[in-house]
Structures are given as structure tokens and as C-alpha cells.
Structure 1
């Protein structure tokens, strides 16, 4: 059985606000730590039937990039749900609603560049 490890290294200031976020994966091309400005980690606790999450961002994460990060996270959550749904037609319909919301979010938050 193959195993992989994801490493997170968070440097905090005196107020426990992230200064830096670095990560690496044993499945990556390099084991060097790579910088990130924000992260969202969600895990499912099967025993208690709830999610556990860690969401962090560095204090120098630009707001416009945070908006894009949220938009892309919502989009990829939809992708993940479709993959896990095994062809459930209701999942397809619900994710279509999520995609509509993502488009609305992107428009209102001016996340995407305007197309000519």
C-alpha cells in the first residue's frame, strides 16, 4: 500500500495570526516547502458525523486574491461533489445551482476579468 504525507508549516506572529504558510507533499516533484497565502482544509469525522476544518490566510493575503480563492474553492467543491455522487441526477441539478451561485458571486465580487 502506498502512503503519502502532506506537511503544513505555519509561522504565527505574537497574536497567532499567520505570517507564512508553507506546505509540501511526498507525492510532489520536490519535498521542498512551497509558499501559500491561504489554505482551507476540511476533514470528515465519521464517528461524530461532522466536518472539521482549518481555514487560514496570511495577513498579507490581498483581498482581491481572497475573493478569487473563495470563488475557486466553491467551484472545486462542486467538482468534488459530482465525482463523489456516482452519477446521481439530483447531484447534477444541485451542482448546477451551485455553479449559478458561483457566477453570481464572481460577478458581484468582480472576481473574473470582463470579457470583451
Structure 2
């Protein structure tokens, strides 16, 4: 059985706020790539709930954070559709994402 690893290295300031983050995913060809935000979710089978780690650096621009969330919503719709084949629900998530983008001021109304 093959094993692989994804790592996130975080430099914190004196108040434990992330200042710099780098991630590695050897199988994906990523080595010490800098990032300004990270969201990781895992499923807790025992308690039937999602556990999350959400981190961003002090330097993450607000508009980039809004775009980050929008793209995560779109990505969630795609993953949901692949996992369940429920196109209607996936389309609803995309619709939500587009409404979010308009409300957040990162996309204009069509």
C-alpha cells in the first residue's frame, strides 16, 4: 500500500497569529509553496460531524478572502455532485455561490 503526505508549515507571531504558511504535497508536485489561507475539513465518523481548521495570515487581502470562499463554494458543489450524482442540489450550491459573490461585491449581477 502506498502512503503519501500533505503538510502545512505555519509561522506564528508572538500572539500565535499566522504570519507565513507553506504547504507541501509531494505527489502533486507542490514543494514549500507559500499560501495566505488554508481550510482543511475532516469527517469524524464517531460523532458524525465535520472538523475544520481555518487559518489565514495577517497579509490575506479581504477581496482575496471573499474570492477564496466563493471558489470553495463552487468546489463544494462540484465535489457534492461527484459524490452523490444529485445535480439539482449541486446546482443549488452553485446558485448560492453566485449570490454570495454578488453580495460580497466580487461579481456583478448578470
CA distance in 2, matches of 1:21, 1:107: 29
Q: 5+ unaligned residues in a row in structure 1: which ranges?
A: none
Higher strand share: 2
> Match for residue 87 of structure 2?
92
Matched, 1:14 2:14: yes
CA distance in 1, matches of 2:91, 2:109: 22
Give structure 1 regions of 4+ aligned residues with deviation exceeding 6 angstroms.
Answer: none
- Give 1:21 deviation, angstroms: 1.0
CA distance in 1, matches of 2:109, 2:98: 12
Query: Contact conserved, 2:9 with 2:22, CA < 8 A, in 1?
Result: yes
* TM-score normalized by the length of structure 2: 0.91
Matched, 1:107 2:102: yes
RMSD, aligned α-carbons: 1.7
Alignment: residue pair count: 110
> Match for residue 35 of structure 2?
36
* TM-score normalized by the length of structure 1: 0.87
Change in Cα spacing, 1:92 to 1:114, as seen in structure 2 (3 Å) is closer
Q: 5+ unaligned residues in a row in structure 2: which ranges?
A: none
